[in-house]
Amino acid sequence: MIRCASLLLTLALVGCATSPTPPVSSVPQVSSDPKWDSYGPYLSRVVGKVQKQWDRALVEMRHYPKVGAVVVVFTLDESGRVTEIVDVKNGSSKEGAQACVSAITSAAPYGAWTEEMKAILGTQQQITFTFYYQD
C-alpha cells in the first residue's frame, strides 16, 4: 500500500478559507490573501522549508499517522520567527499532529521580511497550514 502525505498552505489573512478537499499530489499548494501576492519567493521558501522538515519527520516515524487532516494556525513575525502556535485541529493521530507542529517550528526562522513587506503586512501575521495524511 502506498501512502502519501501532502501539504496545503492557506495564508489565513482576513478570513481566507481553507480548501475542504485534499490536494491530489504531495506538492504544496498555496492560496493566499492578495496582500501576499508580491511575496511569492518568500512563501515558496517557507513552504519548502516546512515540507522538508515534515518529510523528515514522516521518515523518522515508526508508524504512519492516521489518515486525516491536521490544521495548524501559527503567528509569524517580521523577523521570520514563529511566535505562537495559535491552534491545532487534529483529524489524524497525536503523532501526526506533533509532526506537523514540529515541521513548522523547527524550520523557522524563515527570514526577515523586507521593509516593503512590513509596510503591507505589519509586524506579524497568522498563517494556516493544512497537512493531509492519505492512503
- Position 98 scores a pLDDT of 95
DSSP annotation of 2 reads -
The pLDDT, as a whole number, for residue 64 is 87
Q: What is the pLDDT of residue 127?
A: 87
Architecture of domain 4-32+42-134: 2-Layer Sandwich (3.30)
Tell me the chain's radius of gyration from C-alpha atoms: 14
Place of cell 478570513: 15
Which stretches of the chain drop beneath a pLDDT of 50? 1-2, 11-31
What pLDDT does residue 24 have? 35
Residue of 93, 79, 107 whose CA lies nearest to 9: 107
pLDDT at 3: 57
Q: Containing H/E element for 68?
A: strand 68-77
Instruction: With CA atoms as reference, report the closest residue to 28 among 6, 53, 58, 56.
Output: 6
pLDDT of residue 19: 38
Q: What pTM value is reported for the model?
A: 0.79
Among candidates 95, 73, 85, which has minimal Cα distance to 16?
73
pLDDT at res. 22:
40
